[in-house]
Structure 1
Amino acid sequence: MTTQEVKHKLATILSGDVKGYSRLLAKDQEGTIRTLNAHKGVMANLIQQCQGKVIDAPGDNVHAEFPSVMDAVQCAVEIQKELKNRNDELPEPRRMEFRFGINLGEVSEKEGKVFGDGLNVAARIQLLADAGGICLSGTVYEQIKDKLEFRYEYIGKQTVKNILEPVRVYQILLDAQAASLVSRWKRAGLNYWKRVHPAIKIILAVAALINAANIYWQLYTKPSPTSVEITSKERVALQLPDKPSIAVLPFTNMSNDPTQEFFSDGLTEEIINGLSKVPKIFVIARNSSFAYKGKPIDIKQAGREMGVQYVMEGSVRREGNQLRITAQLIDATTGRHVFSERYDRELKDIFTTQDEITIKVLTALQVALKEGEYARFKSRGVSNVEAYFKLLEAWDVFQQVNKESNARVRRLAEEALTLEPVSSKAYAIIGMTYFWDYWLDPSKPPDESIDTGIRMAKKAIAFDRGNSYAHGVLGMLYVNKGEYDRAVQESEIAASLDPGALTNLGSTLMHACRFTEAISVLQKALRYNPVRPHSSCLMNLANSYSQIEQYDQAVYYYKELLQKQPDHFFAHLGLANTYSKMGRMEDARKEAAEVLRINPKFSLERFATRVRFKNPMYKERYL
């Protein structure tokens, strides 16, 4: 054979075979061959209709070449739909399911025969597909991800025989079920299923079958919190800190436009952020302050519930470019008004006005700022008013925590960057969107999301080293990358700049398997958030107690979280695991049922690939 006789080309190759073909042959050879030929006839017709051609079809295999990636993918989907319809008409023992792999790569052709890496990769990734499923190489996915109305799941990099670099592989989610839970465990080659207690294994398997037709629920979407009741009057008052203490309640939006709510919330948060940068005062974190939003407030009671001496409240009215802000500071121990001020300003003066209000509070509390503290106090990561409004809106959307809102947040932050290219706050928010990509968007390679997020967070810090949020984001991204010491280092910087970042520090300490330290930090974080603790604070407290085998404490904090958010997926999952370790199998079964009620298609395999602990032993115990 001479090189002139061989034609080299770039081609889209579809490769398929029958899942469990040998088993079908052993049961009914004649019927299996008859079904196979009928299915092959269907495939040949559809391949031709999609401008493709069958290049080989030995045994139960089929290989086809297409002029375009889109033609190949659409054809594979149509084939699977048609074969499913035909299988539904057959007795169950004769049903035959194909699995497909599609790759775009270089092949060679001689005398009508096609061979080479492009075909080999397609044949290899076909083996990763579920029965009735379709897997794509990374080269195919990049061509179609924004062009075809399908959903995709990234299932990792796969080593392919005789191919130097691992191949990125995606699965098309043809319907809500996507892929069976057990087959995905087997495909990943994981043994986590074996480690699940038999009682829980049975209920998971049964419930998975019962719920197979339910709507696909994205595993890492944050559950929507239920309404939180303010602590009762009977609750014992917290001891006042040994320094001036304050809670800033959400400013009321007095504008005619209810969509301006994000502006009044943003003003409140900026005042909280500014005060939190001053180490000489104790400031209640946002979550607990905002627990009072939209509720009638007894200032003295609120002060007792949050354990602070002073409470600030106010209102905002925006009419075009004009602002009217009222702010009053009240001594919650006596009900005395310390001051009440009104600020009539133009919109362009919003930063100056925020600083005026904050300095007024510091003066009333008799707190003097040193020169270095004043510079950090005034830093907010954005100086352009239009960019600031973009970021306020982005932060408001961020609270939804889902794939669509995450994409919108990134767009808003990128728009803010076009207005202010050196905005540390914008870069930090963009970095956080890549953190959420890791959890919310299985179609994106997780390593790429993490690396991009780290670059964005580092840019934010380069523009403002005092940006606590950016350091916190970088810490969380390092956890996902498995660089635990760096994660703790960044989180410690964040917490030193803003006590509101203590929850972040406690979480990174937990992932670094420093559980006793994590518990100490998270308990301190609870004091800054006494009314509505952040869910991750309670969750990671429970996880840490469970890891050091203080199971009663773990159960207490899991239940505390579930009282506030009854459908918190990870709390039910952790509680099931903890009950199992305690030997309380009936309780474990109930929690396992709750896990599958909330997420009928929970994938332990995918969850296991995302869980991060520095010591693998603790990862096994967590799962």
Structure 2
Amino acid sequence: MSMDSLDSAQRADIRAQLDRLLVSPGFATSLRRGQLLRYLVERVLASEEINEYSIGLDVFDKPPSFDPRIESIVRTETGRLRRKLKEYYTGQGRTDKVQIEIPLRSYKPVFTFREPAAVAATTRKPFHPAILVSGLALSLIAGAFVARQWHPRPQPIRSLVVVPFRNLSPDKSEEYLSDGITDELTNEFASWKELRVAARTSAYLYKGKGVDVRKIGQELNVDAVMEGSLFRQDSHLRVTVQLNRASDGYNLWSQSYDARSPDLLTLQREIALATASAMRDLVGKIQNPIRRPSTNNPEALDLYLQASYQYARLEPASIEKSINLFHQAIEKDPGYARAYLGLAQAELELTNFQAPEKGRVRARKALLEALRLDPDSGDVHGLLADLAAYIDNDWPRAEREFQLAIQKGAQPSTHAAYGWCLARRCRFSEAQDQCTAAQNLEPLGVAPRFCQFYVYFFQRQYSQARKKLLEALDLNPNLIYAHSQLALVAILEKDCPEAARRFEWSAPKLPESAVTMSLAYESACRGETERARRYLTKAAGLSTPAPNFELARGYALIRDSDAAITYLQKAAATGEPVALLLREPFFDKLRSDARYVALERVARLEP
């Protein structure tokens, strides 16, 4: 039967039959056999080419050097698959509605639809095998593809959000696993050019809240919502996934998986394959639907997921933990590009709380290794743009990297970062365009709000700037940076009690140098110049001193122009992001100073 002649109901029947086969005794105890069958069926349904070489790479994880003329694994395993299909249809599946066969000397399955009368002749009890596997084996279990009554013309899915999976494990520390599966699936679907996938930060606003999928769809402007749960106890791991249409909450697909090992590599690949299968009729032909895994080392993946979980908390102590975990992941797999990217992000984030010089050196080293391993990563190019703009004062290179990152599909936060940089260079219209692009991709994201904050802040529109920070805090009340920036806005508006309140909230989560600088800013706001000066002297003399740029800001607030200029010069000499901070309102009274103008030239800013 021609694939083009199949309607959506027939395709659903084929996939339901595939799932029925995979829980039968001949397939449930062999993960690889099931993967091979699913791969072949899905390739045929998508009218995609099948050859021995691609099967070797995609199913059997062979390297690009694989030569099917020398290694016979594909031919051997396909022969075994044919025999198992024959055994199934002469036994348990003899009355099944759909018959799947693989002809000799071919890898393309053919499908035969049997007469309904023959199917109705026998009623069978559901089969629920006890699946015993070893090592990393994984089997598909109850649920399979839920074959429902399909609409004749189903609405296509063009956008999707993966909301955080619920952790149902007795041990709540397993939450990093449920978050990790959420993130891995989000990354996978984000690589599908046919789909717009809501960013992580928007999705995580719904974590643990049980929000109706229809409301989620409306707020994020997506067609479908994927959700699920994870349960792990001892060596047993179960993951349940479902895909719902956002317009009416209709359940399009659901499936459950069992694993007897903490190895998530096979599990995530199986979930992605099954989801690709379920979504093909809804999305259409998907180009290269499943990417090769970013690591083949299960220990490295587990450490990476723990590191990502700690990093997402964005607190100094948790970021330090994430850096240690990223290093451990890299030790397990030195070719793990995403671990290097995560390490670079964490090192750069930590520079917001500590002296930045060494952290930036480490971040650059990790980022260049990530680029070597994955030169097409949009997120890597986005961070390279940040380094070029903030550290290297090389705006032409930064702008090229930003544009390349966006072209290669970087996260919405890259649009936002580009907008921040444009705002700091007083290119406000272009900056707003990037903020809008980030907002469209991430309607409930924090990054677009920060982007808009900077557009207003550098135009000295403080009430609008404050509004955007408050919107960010509505989305995530624990954003330290938002509280700190609100304090600085309050100082500019001479609202010293508000500044003190915001700094007081942040203090327990900040290192000593940042707390000391907060006290200096508060004192300066109240006009207590000598007290502010003492705090500034203390902050500069700590074992981990405050960044030179913050010291410059403090001296500018007490109108000590000489000290402010001196620390700005030190900041430029030590690689702090002077190019993108000189235009802060705190330095407005210095702009006519010849030394300040010289710094602008060094930073390649127009006077």
TM band (smaller chain): 0.5 to 0.7
Tell me if 1:355 matches 2:265. no
Give CA deviations for 1:294-347 in whole Å, capped at 9, x if unaligned. Answer: 122212122222222211111223345543322111112122211112233453
CA distance in structure 2 between the aligned counterparts of 1:459 and 1:522, rounded to whole angstroms = 30
Q: Do the aligned residues in 2 keep the contact of 1:246 with 1:311 (CA within 8 Å)?
A: yes
The residue aligned with 1:594 is: 501
Q: Find the partner of 1:307 among 218, 221, 225.
A: 221
Tell me if 1:441 matches 2:406. no
Give CA deviations for 1:391-441 in whole Å, capped at 9, x if unaligned. Answer: 000111112334433332222112111211111011112222321342222
CA RMSD of aligned residues (A): 3.2
Query: Residues 280 and 514 of structure 1: is their aligned pair in 2 closer, same or farther, counting only changes over 3 Å?
Result: farther
The residue aligned with 1:52 is: none
Q: Find the partner of 1:526 among 423, 429, 439.
A: 439
What TM-score do the two structures reach when normalised by structure 1?
Answer: 0.53
Tell me if 1:458 matches 2:368. yes
Give the AA of the match of 1:440: F
Tell me if 1:323 matches 2:288. no
Give CA deviations for 1:422-475 in whole Å, capped at 9, x if unaligned. Answer: 110111122223213422223xxx333212311210110110123333333333
Give the AA of the match of 1:462: R
Query: Residues 300 and 486 of structure 1: is their aligned pair in 2 closer, same or farther, counting only changes over 3 Å?
Result: same
The residue aligned with 2:98 is: none
Q: In the TM superposition, what are the counterparts of 1:13-412 in structure 2 within 5 Å?
A: 244-345=158-259, 347=263, 348-360=265-277, 362-371=279-288, 374=289, 378-379=291-292, 381-412=294-325
Displacement after TM superposition at 1:597 (Å): 3.5
Give CA deviations for 1:56-75 in whole Å, capped at 9, x if unaligned. Answer: xxxxxxxxxxxxxxxxxxxx
Which structure 1 segments of 5+ residues have no match? 1-240
Helix, strand or coil at the partner of 1:247: strand
Query: Residues 569 and 355 of structure 1: is their aligned pair in 2 closer, same or farther, counting only changes over 3 Å?
Result: closer
CA distance in structure 1 between the aligned counterparts of 2:200 and 2:305, rounded to whole angstroms = 15
Q: Do the aligned residues in 2 keep the contact of 1:572 with 1:594 (CA within 8 Å)?
A: no
The residue aligned with 1:202 is: none
Displacement after TM superposition at 1:249 (Å): 1.3
Helix, strand or coil at the partner of 1:614: helix
Q: Find the partner of 1:467 among 377, 397, 405.
A: 377
Q: Find the partner of 2:464 among 534, 553, 560.
A: 553
Give CA deviations for 1:12-43 in whole Å, capped at 9, x if unaligned. Answer: xxxxxxxxxxxxxxxxxxxxxxxxxxxxxxxx
**More deviation in 297-306 or 551-560?**
551-560
Displacement after TM superposition at 1:356 (Å): 1.4
Helix, strand or coil at the partner of 1:421: coil
Displacement after TM superposition at 1:263 (Å): 0.6
Q: Which has the higher strand share?
A: 1
The residue aligned with 2:583 is: 618
CA distance in structure 1 between the aligned counterparts of 2:212 and 2:478, rounded to whole angstroms = 30
Give the AA of the match of 1:356: L
Query: Residues 441 and 580 of structure 1: is their aligned pair in 2 closer, same or farther, counting only changes over 3 Å?
Result: closer
Helix, strand or coil at the partner of 2:192: coil
Displacement after TM superposition at 1:576 (Å): 6.5
Give the AA of the match of 1:287: T
The residue aligned with 1:419 is: 332
Query: Residues 606 and 595 of structure 1: is their aligned pair in 2 closer, same or farther, counting only changes over 3 Å?
Result: farther
The residue aligned with 2:429 is: 516
Helix, strand or coil at the partner of 1:308: coil
Displacement after TM superposition at 1:613 (Å): 5.7
Q: Do the aligned residues in 1 keep the contact of 2:491 with 2:499 (CA within 8 Å)?
A: no
CA distance in structure 2 between the aligned counterparts of 1:506 and 1:292, rounded to whole angstroms = 26
Q: Do the aligned residues in 1 keep the contact of 2:228 with 2:240 (CA within 8 Å)?
A: yes
CA distance in structure 1 between the aligned counterparts of 2:418 and 2:304, rounded to whole angstroms = 24
CA distance in structure 1 between the aligned counterparts of 2:271 and 2:421, rounded to whole angstroms = 32
Q: Do the aligned residues in 2 keep the contact of 1:503 with 1:537 (CA within 8 Å)?
A: yes
CA distance in structure 1 between the aligned counterparts of 2:287 and 2:301, rounded to whole angstroms = 27
Displacement after TM superposition at 1:264 (Å): 1.0
Which structure 2 segments of 5+ residues have no match? 1-154, 508-514, 522-547, 554-567, 589-607
What TM-score do the two structures reach when normalised by structure 2?
Answer: 0.55
CA distance in structure 2 between the aligned counterparts of 1:303 and 1:523, rounded to whole angstroms = 20
Q: Do the aligned residues in 2 keep the contact of 1:313 with 1:329 (CA within 8 Å)?
A: yes
The residue aligned with 2:343 is: 430
Query: What is the percent sequence identity of the aligned residues?
Result: 24
